Amino acid sequence: MSAFTVVLAQSNLTLEVPEEKSLLEVLIENNINVGYSCQAGTCGSCGVRILEGIPEHYDEVMVPWEQAQNKLMMACVSRCKGDKLVLDL
């Protein structure tokens, strides 16, 4: 898994998500308020809205047609297919 950049549109904050950390871990480390529970991609609590970019889905919550819309991703397990995601946070 590759590192990627995430831009938080509401707070105008740019964060780097390294290979060895999840997006959720980076958000928590930076005091960004995101709900979460299982941290395994099975509960859907950490869903975040995508404004730009293409996520790489590894969750078990969304069905394939939901994943294909690229409007939501689970921050605990999903990654970015490119270099950057813009989130509605």
Question: What pLDDT score does 70 carry?
Answer: 94
Q: Supply the DSSP symbol for 37.
A: S
How is the chain split into domains, by residue range? Answer: 4-87
pTM for the predicted model, two decimal places = 0.92
Residues 44-74 have pLDDT tens digits of 899 999 999 999 999 999 999 999 999 999 9
Q: Give the Cα separation of 77 and 14 in Å (integer).
A: 19
Average pLDDT of the segment spanning 16-27: 97
Confidence of residue 13 (pLDDT cuts 50, 70, 90): very high
Question: What pLDDT score does 1 carry?
Answer: 75
For the domain 4-87, what is the CATH code? Answer: 3.10.20.30
Q: Judge whether 36 and 24 are in contact, CB under 8 Å.
A: yes
Q: Give the Cα separation of 42 and 84 in Å (integer).
A: 24
Other beta carbons within 10 Å of 6? 22
